[in-house]
């Protein structure tokens, strides 16, 4: 299995409205933290995430966390 590209070593924090989001798991998307299809031809697929209420979300950008698609602080060990 390929290793994901580290998009950045800190979370991407944003206000999110209710809806369906597709989080980039490969790290290659130019629309971080969301998928833009850059994973095509790799073993990676986007992670579908339903947000049910408006809230601030800390999306994982290091792509090496244990609570993906959300940041768990794993970037501190990279």
pLDDT, tens only, 1-49 = 689 999 999 999 999 999 999 999 999 999 999 999 999 999 999 999 9
The pLDDT, as a whole number, for residue 2 is 85
Q: Quick one: pLDDT band at residue 51, thresholds 50, 70, 90?
A: very high
The pTM score is: 0.93
Which tokens sit at 76?
């501190």
CB 78 within 8 A of CB 9: yes
């Amino acid at each position: 299995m390929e290793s994901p590209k580290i998009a950045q070593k800190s979370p991407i924090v944003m206000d999110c409205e209710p809806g369906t989001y597709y989080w980039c798991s490969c790290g290659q998307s130019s629309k971080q933290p969301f998928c833009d299809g850059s994973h095509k031809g790799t073993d990676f697929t986007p992670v579908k995430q339903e947000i049910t209420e408006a809230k601030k979300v800390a999306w994982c950008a290091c792509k090496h966390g244990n609570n993906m698609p959300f940041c768990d602080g794993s970037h501190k060990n990279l």
